[in-house]
A and B are shown apart, each in its own frame.
Chain A
Amino acid sequence: MNINLTLIGQSIAFAIFVWFCVKYVWPPITAAMAERQKKIADGLSAADRASLDLELAQQKASKELQKAKEESAALIDQANKRAAQIVEASKDDARKEGEKLLEQARAEIQQERVQARDALRAEVATLAVAGAEKILETSVDAKAHSEMLEKLAAEL
């Protein structure tokens, strides 16, 4: 246990170690630690923000969903109404069409009846003349009696 130059040697070594530590060991490690600390803090705050965002998004989504539901309900309602309208309109159209057809048919029938009557009239004259000829067994001057026969036919 002698005190000797070791003391000074040890002091010098100590000084050099401290210098080295101050210069080359302490700064990079503390910098890395501080940076990681910052990263973690950032990450945590980002996570907080994300969960907040998520909540907001969920709220928004449910709102949107609600809106969409309402809209679709309105749409369905409208469509139903429209369909009823269309059905009603088409029923109306069909009825009108039917009436129109009926009308047409009636007109045609009427026309045909008139035509038939006219034809019948024409025939009646001839038939009557032929009948009269048979009865009288004489020829009848068709020209002389046609006027009278036409009068007769017109009375039909």
Chain B
Amino acid sequence: MAADTPVEYIKHHLTNLTYGKLPGGYERADGSVVEEATWTFARTGQEAADMGFMAFHVDTLGWSIAMGVLFLGLFRFVANKATTGTPGGLQNAVEMTFEFVQGIVRDVFHGKNPLVAPLALTIFVWILLMNTLKLIPVDYIPSIAHALGLEYFKIVPTTDPNGTFGISIGVFLLILFYSFKIKGVGGFAKELSFNPFNHWSLVPFNLVLEILALIIKPISLALRLFGNMYAGEVVFILIALLPLWIQWTLNVPWAIFHILVVTLQAFIFTTLTVVYLSAAHEDH
């Protein structure tokens, strides 16, 4: 692993496995020059940055999809075997999750939309699973990946802003969709124009305020989750830099604390999504 100094170690652990397009004439880290624009794995953080938008974080996508498939596979498995009699342990656990999410939706969401509850369930369990990956010791999987020849490997998708923004943008699109659908274009425009100050002379001011408020929603969703997870991850990496014999004194409490954070962040993301969608469904 290219981790000689603590700074490098940290940087290394915070860099994603990036597969992207290097522009033509780019000088790579080892001094070689790419003649034409090529798709390749980034060998350094700098290369990954220089790939710009045309790049994929393979680890983020891979792990998030793996977690999504795990979630859906498990739940689908239970759904297929779901009995109306006495449920087994797994079905019980799944049903508890269902009831938890249904509780959130029932408390917060007042409209009628069959999409919202499954959406909330997907968000909750998916984010929970992705967050939980953080409890795996920071060096385990990157070491395995390194042994397989992958220079960078970051397994927690929610410590990647792409991961969290990907979800929050999806939520944002749903907010826009339902706002337009339920309120109509005119109604939505009216809501944006005459809130919070109901006077025609303040329409431009209202518009700026409301549109900002609208755009802030997905950003705050994504950044809150990302910030919490990223900060936790950095602390785990810092603890991993300590001498081996003392690590557990910090590692264990931090991990236990993170069981709370992991669940809490998934819960907050879910609840806020439902709140935002509920607001989108309110027709004045």
Is the CB–CB distance between A9 and B56 below 8 Å? yes
Q: Is A36 an interface residue (CB 8 A)?
A: yes
With A21-B118, A28-B79 as known contacts, state yes or no: A3 contacts B165, CB within 8 Å: yes
With A22-B118, A26-B121 as known contacts, state yes or no: A11 contacts B54, CB within 8 Å: no
Q: Is A144 an interface residue (CB 8 A)?
A: no
Q: Is B255 an interface residue (CB 8 A)?
A: no
Contact of B166 among A11, A28, A33, A39 (CB under 8 A): A11
With A29-B95, A29-B98 as known contacts, state yes or no: A5 contacts B78, CB within 8 Å: no
Bound form: Cα–Cα A10–B56 in Å: 10
Q: Is B52 an interface residue (CB 8 A)?
A: yes
Contact of A4 among B52, B76, B98, B119 (CB under 8 A): B52
Is the CB–CB distance between B72 and A7 below 8 Å? no
Is the CB–CB distance between B170 and A4 below 8 Å? no
Bound form: Cα–Cα A25–B16 in Å: 32
Is the CB–CB distance between A29 and B166 below 8 Å? no
Q: Is A61 an interface residue (CB 8 A)?
A: no
Is the CB–CB distance between A33 and B52 below 8 Å? no
Q: Is B265 an interface residue (CB 8 A)?
A: no
Bound form: Cα–Cα A50–B242 in Å: 68
The residue in B54, B68, B118 that gathers the most chain A C-beta atoms within 10 A of its C-beta is B118
Which residue of chain B has the shortest Cβ distance to A17 in the bound complex? B68
Q: Is A135 an interface residue (CB 8 A)?
A: no
Which residue of chain A has the shortest Cβ distance to B165 in the bound complex? A7
Closest 3 CB pairs of A and B: A10-B166, A6-B162, A32-B82
* Given A14-B126, A22-B119, A30-B98, 6 more pairs with CB closer than 8 A: A3-B53, A6-B57, A10-B61, A21-B118, A29-B98, A33-B99
